[in-house]
Amino acid sequence: MKFIDEYRDPEIVVGLLKQITSASVRIARPVTIMEICGSHTYAIGRFGIRKLLPDNIHLISGPGCPVCVTSARDVDLALYLASLPNVIFATFGDMLRVPGTGGNSLQKKRAEGCDVRVVSSADECIGVALSHPQKEIVMMGVGFETTAPTIAAVINSCRKKDIRNFSVFSVHKIVPPAISALLADPLLNIDGFLCPGHVSTMIGAAAYQMIPDARRAAVITGFEPVDILEGVLMLLQQIENKNMSVAIQYSRGVRPEGNTRAMTLLQSVFETADAQWRGLGTIPESGLALRDEFAAYDTLKKFSLPDIHTGDIPGCGCGDILRGIKLPHDCPLFRKVCTPANPVGPCMVSSEGTCSTYYKYD
Amino acid sequence: MCIGFPGKIISIDNDNYAIIDISGTRREVCLDIIDEEASIGDYVITHAGYAIHKIDTITAQDKLKCLQEIIDNEIY
Ligand code: SF4
C-alpha cells in the first residue's frame, strides 16, 4: 500500500517516541498541543497516540470537524430546505444524523419521505440535476478549504453547462480565522498546533503565520502514526529552541504555496463573510458566501427562508469541547445518555467528532 | 471530513476524469483542481471526488529514508 503502510512502520514509531520522550524531559514542563483537524482527532484516537506520549505532553482537540462546528441555525435551515416539496437535498453523509432544534435530523426527514440524497462528491449533483429537470437540487456545502474548491468546481461546471436547477447552501468555513479566535481566547493556553494536512494542501503554509507571531509552534502534519508523532516531535523542537515557525511535516501532501489553482477557483466563486461557529460564536470573515455573479447558484438567494427559532441542544457541551476547554468526560451525558448509536450532540454524531473518538478509543 | 486518500492513476479520459487505485479499490476522480498536471502512473491525493495534489514520490521516499537513518543511528 503505497503512502500508507510505510507511515505505520512500528520501528519508526518507536524511534520517534524515544525522541519525543527525550525532548519532553528536556522541556520539563507541561506542554499543550491542539490538533485542529477532525481527521487528526480521529487518527490520534484510532492509533492510541494520546496514551503513547509522555505524561507532560497533552493533546487536545479543536474546532476541526466541519459538521460539528455547523451552527444550530444552519442545521435548522438545512432541515427546512430538505422538507420543501420540490427540492432534492444533497449532502455529504456526515451531515445526515446531526440533530437540529427539537432533535430532528436529515435522516429523520428522509424517513418521513423527503428526498435527501447522500453524495460522496458534489460532482454527482450535476447528473441528478440533469435527470430531474423539474426539481431543484440543493447541495449543502459544508467543509473547510479542502472541500470548498470542489463545490466551486461544480458551480462552475453548472454555469458552463447552463444547468439552472442547482444551488449550494454554503455553510463553508475557513480555518485561519478560527485559529486567530483560539489564540485570543484567555481560557486557552496552547503551546503549539498540529495544523491540518489537507486544508494546508490547499492554503499552504503562510496562512498560519499568526501562530508563530503569537509565539506558538505550528507544524502542518499528515494523518498516519509516523506523521502525527513526527509532527509532535517537530512542535517540541520549536518549543524547546524557542524558534517558532510554520513547519511542514506532511511534505508529500503539501507544497509551501498550497494549491494555487484550487484557491484561485475558490476565490472566483466564493468571498469571505462572517460566519457562526458552534462553540466559537460569530467569527468575522470566517465563512464562504457565493459571490454576486453566482447568485443564481446561491440557495440563500434563490429561496425565501423563514425566520427560524433555533435552540441549543439541552445539556450538550459540544461548544466548550470544540473550543478545547472541556473534554468529553466533563459532559454529564457522555456515555450515559449520549452514545454513537444515540447521539445527543454533533460531536458524537460525526466519526471525526471529539466525543465520538473518545467514546470509541479512550 | 477533510480526509484524503493517496492513489495511483490507472487511466484518464477525455473529460479530465481519472480512474485511480486506492489500495486495491478503484475510484473515479476529477482532475480539474489538481495542483500540477498528473499522468498515468502518478500518485495523487484525492478528496471528495477530486484529485487535489500530485505526490512528489522522490521527496516522500527521501523523508522515510531520513527517519530510518535517525533510528538506525539512534540519534535521540
Ligand atoms: S457527549 Fe454528547 S451531549 Fe455531551 S458534549 Fe458530547 S455530543 Fe454533546
Q: What is the CA radius of gyration of chain B?
A: 15
Separation between Cα atoms, residue A59 and residue A82, nearest integer Å: 38
Q: Is residue A102 a part of any domain in this protein?
A: no
Beta strands B50-54; B43-47: pairing state: antiparallel
Q: How many CB atoms lie within 10 A of CB B16?
A: 12
Q: Is the CB of A65 inside a 6 Å radius of any atom of ligand 1?
A: no
Whether residue A355 has its Cβ less than 6 Å from ligand 1 = yes
Of the candidates A26, A9, A11, A20, the one whose C-alpha atom is nearest the C-alpha of residue A58 is A20
What total of structural domains would you count in chain A?
Answer: 2
With 60 as the cut, is the pLDDT of residue B76 above it?
A: no
CA-nearest residue to B29 within chain A is A121
Q: Is B47 on the interface with A (CB under 8 A)?
A: yes
Query: Contact, A248 vs B56, CB < 8 A?
Result: no
Q: Do A222 and A353 have their domain in common?
A: no
Asked whether residue A14 is assigned to any structural domain, the reply reads yes
Asked if A326 and A187 sit in the same domain, the reply is: no
Look at chain A and count its residues.
362
Instruction: Identify whether residues A197 and A329 lie together within a single domain.
Output: no
End-to-end CA distance of chain A: 28
Cell 529514508 -> residue: B65
Q: For residues A183 and A62, state if they share a domain.
A: yes
Q: For chain A, list residues with pLDDT below 70.
A: 1
Query: Is the Cβ of B70 closer than 8 Å to some Cβ of chain A?
Result: yes
Among A248, A265, A288, residue at a domain's last position: A248
**Residue A240, domain extent:** 5-66+177-248
Residue A205 lies in a domain: yes
Angle CA A274–A261–A6, to nearest 5: 100
**Are residues A225 and A353 located together in one domain of the fold?**
no
Does one domain contain both A190 and A334?
A: no
Q: Is the pLDDT of residue B72 over 80?
A: no
Of A3, A120, A201, Cβ closest to residue B60: A3
Q: Is residue A40 part of a domain?
A: yes
Which grid cell is B38? Answer: 498528473
Q: What is the pLDDT of residues A55-77, one digit of tens each?
A: 999 999 988 889 889 998 999 99
Domain termination site, one of A191, A220, A248: A248
* Residue A186: predicted pLDDT: 85
Q: Does A255 touch chain B (CB under 8 A)?
A: yes
> Are A195 and A57 members of one domain?
yes
Is A337 a domain residue?
A: yes
Q: What is the distance between the terminal CA atoms of chain B, rounded to a whole angstrom?
A: 35
What pLDDT score does A188 carry?
84
- Please classify residue A253 by burial: count the beta carbons closer than 10 Å to its beta carbon, then call 0-12 exposed, 13-18 middle and 19+ buried: buried
DSSP A61-81: E-S--HHHHB-HHHHHHHHHH
For residue A319 and ligand 1, the question of a CB distance below 6 A is answered with no
Q: Is residue A240 assigned to a domain?
A: yes
Task: Look at residue A218 and tell me if it is in a domain.
Answer: yes
Q: Is there a contact between A268 and A148 (Cβ–Cβ < 8 Å)? A: no
Are residues A342 and A196 part of one domain?
no
Same-domain status, A53 and A198: yes
Q: Is A194 found in the same domain as A57?
A: yes
Q: Report the gap between the CA of A38 and the closest CA in chain B (Å).
A: 7
From the list B43, B50, B59, which residue is nearest A251 (CB)?
A: B59
Whether residue B67 and residue A260 make contact (CB cut-off 8 A), yes or no, is no
Could you give the residue ranges of the DSSP H alpha helices within A161-259? 175-183, 197-203, 210-213, 225-241
Q: Tell me, what CATH number does A190's domain have?
A: 3.40.50.11750
**Mutual angle of helices A354-361 and A38-46, in 10-degree steps:** 0
Element (H, E) at A248: strand A246-248
Query: Containing H/E element for A158?
Result: helix A148-160
Q: What is the pLDDT of residues B21-60, one digit of tens each?
A: 988 889 999 999 999 999 999 999 999 999 999 998 887 7
Instruction: Give the residue, out of A325, A333, A359, A362, with the most ligand 1 atoms within 8 A of its beta carbon, to mutate for a pocket test.
Output: A333
CB contact under 8 A, A230 and B67: yes
Tell me the chain B residues in contact with residue A259 when contact means C-beta distances shorter than 8 Å: 33-35, 52-53
pLDDT of residue A339: 92
Among partner residues B6, B32, B34, which is closest to A4 by beta-carbon distance?
A: B6
Domain boundary among A248, A275, A290: A248
**A52 and A188, same structural domain?**
yes
A25: in domain: yes
